[in-house]
Structure 1
Amino acid sequence: MKGSFSFKELSKSGALSTSTSYLKEQITSVFQPSDNKLAMKLFGNKMALKKEKERQEAVGKWVIHPCSNFRFYWDFIMLIFLIANLISLPVTITFFHDDLPNTWITFNAVSDTIFLMDLIINFRTGYITNTTTNYFTGIIADNFADEIILEPHHIAVHYLKTWFLLDFLSSIPLDHVIVLFTPDAEGISQIIHAGRALRFFRLVKLLSLLKLLRLSRLVRYVSQWEEVSLFISVAGKFIRIFNLISFILLLGHWNGCLQWLVPMLQDFPSNSWPALEELQNVHWLEQYTWSLFKALSHMLCIGFGRFPPQSSTDVWLTMVSMLTGATCYALFVGHSTTIIQSFDTAKRLYREKFKQVEEYMMYRKTPKHLRQKITDYYQHRYRGKMFDEKSILSEVNECLREDIINYNCRSLVAAVPFFTHADPNFVTDVVTKLEYEVYQPGDYVIKESTIGTKMYFIQEGIVDIVTKDGDVATSLSDGSYFGEICLLTNSRRCASVRCETYCNLFSLSVENFNSVLDHYPLMRRTLESVAAERLNKIGSSSSSFSSVFV
């Protein structure tokens, strides 16, 4: 029996040890970096992320990685509690005295506990240095030990030197601490109703205001979320506008509470605005409504509320409100203008470029008909948006560049029968060397007797082949190409090509033309065959191949 009992106890002990180890592994994995947006942006690939996990395991199990899921969700929880506190705290401090509801007392206790826990968690959370890491453009190098600090001692020292003091002052409930060190409830009641009541009441209220230092945490957490959201450019811009509006509304809310708090701490003098409007004993919601109305009237510079300031205190409060409102207005206009302009950078660049063109035409005293033609060209060529396409394509790798160009030229490739049945590699080599050009009605793309340096593919539009006599031999439209004969024979153009409509063309220079055909001799023979057929169509013989026109 004893042996059996010992075996069962040993089995239970082993199972408990296994469960404990499994639980520790799960907790440790939560503290390690995950493949979220921030981590993948910093490390670039899962192999580097794996190395970072190994580095963290070597440091210790109870260090929280800044890119871990735990820190992500903790920051989200903190963000919610911060917003709730920064909205509710001023209302509670200003409009409630000793009649706080149980719901608020519970929420306040939970919030204070959460913020104290955040102090401890910050001492165990690694931080990202700003030496070489860039959230927007850079990926952490292979040796990223200098960028993300995980050593507990360095983490503690860094936190103590940066945000600890503000976080500590905003986390410790000093108002409750003062109450704890006063006599019991009955004694407190006597104090409140004694001569020192007003000073004690003011001290508790002012100490409660220290909790508003939690705004510093809100700014940090919002900045972190902005960093992640900016990976998606449009979403990041909307979030920045939303955050800006939210902060302005929060300042208006605080200002409204301040409009009531200052007269209340003075025991509502007879010439204060709450006393003039007889609001001391009404419901707190009505008090807050009138306070907010007065604050926003000042901030928007539309008035003083129902009464102008009657005391020096009111005058100072009014001036603070006006300065705050003017500052917020300037920040909002400037920041919003910058963000709105960044929504469509290409359109802004086009407007700036076209403004230069207009100034150039004025400087050169360009005739009116030529000004109109230049204006029409820019409108058709760029269609209100301007990109530095060459720079963009030069910055990506060759494979991606080919994919982009093939996509941009997909309609041309589909429309040109010559490309439809050609070798895909030949098509790719050609389209990656094409140059986009736009011509207006009446423009001569090719003039007779000139030396041929390009061939052209028509993406959109109609061109006429004009002979020496001025007759239109034929017309070409979408999907056609011309100019290749002269490149094949090194001869001069013997006819002109005139645009009948606006034409979007792609040109291929003679150097690139010969470079591509040298690698695809079969395609050269195909082009020569098509050129011979075209000569026959306009009445020339293939034997006169050296005197072709296009």
Structure 2
Amino acid sequence: MITKLDLRNFYIAPDAPWKLRWDGAVLAGAVLATVLAPLNLAFDFSDSVFFLLVDIGITLLFIADIIILFHTAYVDKRRLVTDKKCIRMRYLKGWFWLDLFAAVPFFLFAGPAYLTINRVARFARITRILKLISGARVIGRLKKTKINPNVMRLALMIFWLLLAAHIIATGMILVGGVPADLPDGMRYLQAFYWTVTTLATVGYGDITPDRNNPLQLLFTIITQFIGVGMYGFIIGNISTVIANIDIAKSQYREKMERINTFLKYRNIPHDLTKRINDYYDYLWESRRGYDESSVVDELPFSLKIQVSQELHRDIITKVPLFKGANHSFIRDIILNLRPVVYTPGDYIVRKGELGEEMYFISRGAVDVVSEDESVIYATLQEGAFFGEIALLLSSPRNATIKAREYCDLYSLDKRTFEKILEKYPDFAKEVAKMAEQRRKETEAAAKKKKS
């Protein structure tokens, strides 16, 4: 995204959407170049028009990337640096030289296979592997996405293993380790097969180096050393990735083991134990075991406000009591909501109790029932609210409300509400009017019932 029209101060924002897509295209070009360079070294594609066009395209892509990077701002200590001199110096001291070697137009040196300059150009193309190293900045940004970091780590490990196997396989072809009279595809497949069996320390022995060829023997020895180290690396990393692929679930299982051990030690009845386990299972399924309030409370105030508004705005705006309230009042209400969970059959409020909280239903359903629970007057679903009279009047509950299923609710207590009203005297007057109106309606209903 170009944020300045003045060409003297022109810079490119590093997080601009088109810049992220461009970096992805450059990374794809680097992967393609890294795959093609060893193949060209093994099979010599100098006469291939397709390879020439691809090589030209990759070169132009890398050259354009260098030009773009000379104008791309960067973030230093959470501050966006747009100074042209600082951008140039940082790039020249960083990835520039790797990018420059990768952008050399090797296609200009193409010619008959017997020319020395052509052979040198084929070997020099291997330097384009360095572009993958500079592509680490793109991979670093991918790790900040919603992709599980352990899944990303596993994918990168598989990619580097396949790339290493590809390069070793082409090396085996180059030293003459597979018959030259086979088609190119079969030669590569046999070389790759030999590489995999060697790196995996399986070593079937059906494809072996010529014992009278020192180059092939030396290449095999080096590959075996690489295979031993790579085998240990793979085992260690895969076990770590599998263990950490879902840290939250591992922590949840550990927590449940502790809880169940305690319940068993204290001889808690089976039915109650099952209810406790069902409750924690519900917390895992609905919240991945996280306590919402503790997570939000750890955020700085500005972020806490934004997250709370995203979570609760729709619920609050449906309540008639808060219609017409200003933004600051709604913000204070939202910040003081507290999440609560009720299991099926739990009493949320009982008729006759003195009300101190009102509730907002985020998930689940509750039944409004008669005092003897023989009649269900209504069922309230997600987005509904109840108990608002508790915020207006210190009067007993006029109904019993039970959780029909697992319910995620948010509560707002009377004391907190009154403290908030002290900051907004104008709205407090409106609330007082509502309370007086509700008191009259309640008294009229009571007289009507007696008569």
Instruction: Calculate the TM-score normalised by the size of structure 1.
Output: 0.58
Counterpart-to-counterpart distance in 2, 1:377 and 1:73:
44
Which residue of structure 2 lines up, in the alignment, with residue 460 of structure 1? 365
Which residue of structure 1 lines up, in the alignment, with residue 42 of structure 2? 94
1:214 Cα offset (Å): 1.9
Which residue of structure 2 lines up, in the alignment, with residue 161 of structure 1? 93
Greater Cα offset, 283-292 or 244-253: 244-253
- Percentage of identical aligned residues: 17
Over 3 Å counting, the alpha-carbon distance change for 1:206 and 1:434 in structure 2 is: same
Counterpart-to-counterpart distance in 1, 2:122 and 2:193:
24
SS in structure 1 of the partner of residue 341 of structure 2: strand
Over 3 Å counting, the alpha-carbon distance change for 1:150 and 1:387 in structure 2 is: same
Q: What RMSD, in angstroms, separates the aligned Cα atoms of the two structures?
A: 5.1
Matched residue type, 1:281: D
Over 3 Å counting, the alpha-carbon distance change for 1:456 and 1:323 in structure 2 is: closer
Which residue of structure 1 lines up, in the alignment, with residue 214 of structure 2? none
2:274 is the counterpart of 1:372: yes
Over 3 Å counting, the alpha-carbon distance change for 1:258 and 1:337 in structure 2 is: farther
Q: Deviations over 1:219-251 (max 9, x none)?
A: 323632762x66753599988776554433222
2:129 is the counterpart of 1:215: yes
Which residue of structure 1 lines up, in the alignment, with residue 342 of structure 2? 439
Q: In the alignment, is the contact (CA less than 8 A) between 1:301 and 1:322 conserved in 2?
A: yes
Which residue of structure 1 lines up, in the alignment, with residue 424 of structure 2? none
Which residue of structure 2 lines up, in the alignment, with residue 478 of structure 1? 379
Out of 391, 406, 420, which is 2:313 matched to?
A: 406
- Which structure has the larger Rg over C-alpha atoms? 1
Which residue of structure 2 lines up, in the alignment, with residue 510 of structure 1? 414
* Equivalence map 1:500-539=2 (5 Å): 501-502=404-405, 504=407, 506-512=410-416, 514=418, 518-519=428-429, 520-532=431-443, 535=446
SS in structure 2 of the partner of residue 478 of structure 1: strand
* Equivalence map 1:6-405=2 (5 Å): 33-34=1-2, 49-50=3-4, 53-54=5-6, 57-58=8-9, 78-96=26-44, 100-103=46-49, 106-107=52-53, 110=56, 114=60, 117=63, 121=67, 125-126=70-71, 128-129=73-74, 131-133=76-78, 140=79, 144=80, 147-151=81-85, 157-167=89-99, 169-170=101-102, 208-221=122-135, 223-224=137-138, 227=141, 233-234=146-147, 245-261=158-174, 263-264=175-176, 274=178, 279-304=179-204, 306-307=206-207, 311=211, 312-313=217-218, 314-324=220-230, 326-328=232-234, 330-331=236-237, 334=240, 341=246, 354-355=256-257, 357-362=259-264, 364-380=266-282, 383-385=285-287, 386-390=289-293, 391-392=295-296, 396=303, 398=305, 401-402=308-309, 404-405=311-312
Q: Deviations over 1:70-114 (max 9, x none)?
A: 977875664454333211211121233xx8424267348736964
Q: Which runs of 5+ in 2 are unaligned?
A: 212-216, 422-426
Over 3 Å counting, the alpha-carbon distance change for 1:106 and 1:457 in structure 2 is: closer
Counterpart-to-counterpart distance in 2, 1:399 and 1:68:
23
Counterpart-to-counterpart distance in 1, 2:283 and 2:94:
54
Matched residue type, 1:523: M
Q: Deviations over 1:108-133 (max 9, x none)?
A: 873696488469738x8045455313
Counterpart-to-counterpart distance in 2, 1:443 and 1:73:
52
Q: Which runs of 5+ in 1 are unaligned?
A: 1-32, 35-48, 134-139, 193-200, 265-272, 414-418, 542-550
1:252 Cα offset (Å): 2.2
Counterpart-to-counterpart distance in 1, 2:355 and 2:66:
77
Matched residue type, 1:521: A
Over 3 Å counting, the alpha-carbon distance change for 1:372 and 1:534 in structure 2 is: farther
1:531 Cα offset (Å): 3.5
Counterpart-to-counterpart distance in 1, 2:24 and 2:346:
62
SS in structure 2 of the partner of residue 282 of structure 1: coil
